[in-house]
Structure 1
Amino acid sequence: MPVILPLDISDEGLLESVRTWVRLLEEERYEDAFHFTYQHPYYAWTPELMRDVIYGYGIVEMDPEVEKFKVTSIDEAKERNGSPYADVDFHMPRKHSIENTLIVAEIWFSLPLNGEWSDLTASFNVLYMPECVSLELQEIHVF
């Protein structure tokens, strides 16, 4: 079941939820990370696709001889080309395909790969529902 967050959650609370999702990836718990967020059919995510996109630094079909990338510790990641990117951007609410749900914000979060912050970025919709707030994975791509 996707993460259930309070209606009055702060920006930092939203980012901490994303950090929890990143820690699941660090442990290579792709199935759990997949179920941590809502999944819109448009994006066609699967746990295996999430893994393959991360392993390939945003590209699914990588040469097996090329280095694989893995999500590593947020706390131990070294800076590379500046600070990691973590942003919550609120905007005018728009309807979502889930009944009585609005998309009220987007989150972009850099992923730590192989011990360094990368420009491979996960983006999420922030879903506002009558009883809670939750997250929906959009993309994992090079920002």
Structure 2
Amino acid sequence: MERLPLSATDDQLIEFADRWAALMEQENYEGAFAFTGHVPEMKWSPSLVRDVIKAYDRRDPAQRVTVYGEPTDITQRKEVSRWARNRRGEIAEIWYDLNIDGLASDLTATFVVVETDAGLEIKLNEIHVM
């Protein structure tokens, strides 16, 4: 799992999500899974992540995440919300709208940012339509 320095900026958090999306674009679901931590309650696996992407909208088994996308009636959202550290060490959340086959979509990945002694751990939380 990749970690970021405790001093990581919002731009660096978004760049982290872009690198995760680049693994998804290659359909390297194992690599994308290993790149982040995971919120345990969500029970993510590489195959479940793949299934969620393939089941979106047209349910096309060939569709995939792309890093870049043209706006449709949707504009891609990439934002970070920060707050004071909570009891679980969480300090922020990344909201990252996924592009599918080069088009902006309303399928959103959220990541929780956790402060640890080793740096910031980014955990995949949800992937769903927002």
TM range (shorter): over 0.9
- Determine if the alignment matches structure 1 residue 86 to structure 2 residue 78: yes
CA contact (8 A) 2:74 2:106 kept: no
SS of the residue 2:32 aligns to = helix
Q: CA deviation at 1:131?
A: 2.8
Superposed, 1:1-143 pairs within 5 Å as: 2-57=1-56, 66-68=59-61, 69-74=63-68, 77-96=69-88, 102-143=89-130
Identical-residue share of aligned pairs (%): 36
Pick the structure with greater CA Rg.
1
Q: Provide the TM-score with structure 2 as the length reference.
A: 0.92
Residues paired across the two proteins, number: 129
4+ runs deviating over 2 angstroms:
66-69
Counterpart CA distance in 2 for 1:41 and 1:13 is 24
Considering fraction of residues, name the structure with more strand: 2
Please give the TM-score of this superposition, normalised by the length of structure 1. 0.84
